[in-house]
Structure 1
């Protein structure tokens, strides 16, 4: 059984090992405040409309570094956000071990738009718990560097690995840190060169910076927000209904049983970089 914890129009899917009566209560987001501070509908991704040629673009992860958008960079952006907004029903899927044996896959895939984090595995052994549908998936440049050798020698392996996401957008922070620009651009050109079904959207550093400030004002103190919280924040501004799954930053489930960090492995995050328990409490 996929257990739902909900408050108001916003739902948090925890996953489960056994039925639990009642709901887990929490303080819901103020969608209006988020839209006022960060405007996800307009600023979620780099577009020709919000990032014209000649604009000075400040990196959100390196506060003293900027680039000027030239013709080559401008040509990589879509004219506008390539979704018909507002999106209707959205699933935002984290990678938490709480999803193992949850049976949430069917419910996840019933959404009109499914967002996933950091190129997770979606093979058949996981589909019952995490689904198989994807419209947008994030890709941290560090994954490209470590798993695919910066796409210097592993271009086909990368293209083959993302086929599981079908016709989806790969969302990358090309303009957050200088070290991420090269890998992000190589993903764009690799998919284009191979005629892949996936395409790249570049995260707007203005949006990422504003979201970070918003949550800092809510008491989250970390070097950087997790990908999951960025994505949930975006979804609340893009979608009429948001349900999130697999965000559970603890080593035990609701019944006190040990669970792995991810549904596919137990590799732990850098505890000094993100503040996932703080983020969870805000949700």
Structure 2
């Protein structure tokens, strides 16, 4: 009887220890600097930036070793043959086995030429309003954008017009285009803003997002669209999440912007990030909207945007990437 009690106490303590370790893993004990401290540091840094090729090469090597972005960022026929099990990175115990239907939708191999040269990664932060960064963004060799942002004439001066790759969360297909269950015309028409770019969707990240992503693919192919659908590889999303968690970003999920910056750092020789500013006040102490096109706030607790910004700012200070968080200076020759 005493042996049973002893074992019972041990098992209880073991369970408690596991729970505590899990809690510390998800919500570690640390202090993130407050918004004012971060803004003050950015102001002190000013426009000073110097490219550091050694750190760029080192960071690309770290990303290559952990996540292999060049080969794994998208699901392809090459890395996901028939019968392969794709485990959803956003949901435990759910998977998709590649079958005839899905295999036929994959590109043969990663379509991007390596290495890409100068890349612009454009977030949707309100800091882009009145930034005058549009020409700077469009001067890059490859432009990445987040979540089907508006590129109408009123925004071009600040955010540019060129797109080579744009992400699309399945939730956008659900909310903005009624899951493509009734009409596909508005979706196909709105996609024309992105020219002949790649649409990058996390079809195998969360189960509810699979069908809308597949419908989006069919809507584009059935209308002979110039766009090419790429599905995010859940293995890549998972490993990138672990990579940043080990560097102090603790959230249920990384933002789309940080996924794209990670991809760019793995693929591009030079990366400049725009529109990444998770604070409600700008460097001029004036209010900043959440997006450059609206002020709709995200669900709280899902992303850890200030933590992400701190990590990106460290990379900026080390010369690994450049962040534009204020106005872009006029380009030479501009009137």
TM-score by length of 1: 0.90
Deviations 1:21-75 (A, max 9, x none): 54279x9772221111001000010011110111111110112111211122111
> Within 1, Cα distance between the matches of 2:193 and 2:205?
27
> Within 2, Cα distance between the matches of 1:49 and 1:102?
42
Query: What are the residue-to-residue correspondences of 1:1-283 with 2, within 5 Å?
Result: 22-23=47-48, 30-283=59-312
Cα displacement (A) at 1:186 = 0.3
Matched positions, count: 265
> Within 2, Cα distance between the matches of 1:66 and 1:21?
47
> Within 2, Cα distance between the matches of 1:115 and 1:242?
11
Q: From the CA coordinates, give the structure whose radius of gyration is larger.
A: 2
RMSD over aligned CA atoms reads 1.8
Cα displacement (A) at 1:255 = 1.6
Q: 27-36 or 37-46, which moves further after superposition?
A: 27-36
- Note the residue ranges of structure 1 that are not aligned, 5 or more in a row: 1-13, 15-19
Deviations 1:129-165 (A, max 9, x none): 0000001000000000000000012300000011010
> Within 2, Cα distance between the matches of 1:62 and 1:253?
36
Cα displacement (A) at 1:259 = 1.1
> Within 2, Cα distance between the matches of 1:206 and 1:22?
37
Q: What SS class does the counterpart of residue 214 from structure 1 fall into?
A: helix
Q: What SS class does the counterpart of residue 190 from structure 2 fall into?
A: helix
TM-score by length of 2: 0.76
Deviations 1:74-133 (A, max 9, x none): 111111111111111110000011111111000100011100000000001000000000
Deviations 1:198-234 (A, max 9, x none): 1210000000000000011111111100000000001
Q: What SS class does the counterpart of residue 272 from structure 2 fall into?
A: strand
Structure with more of its chain in helix, by fraction: 2
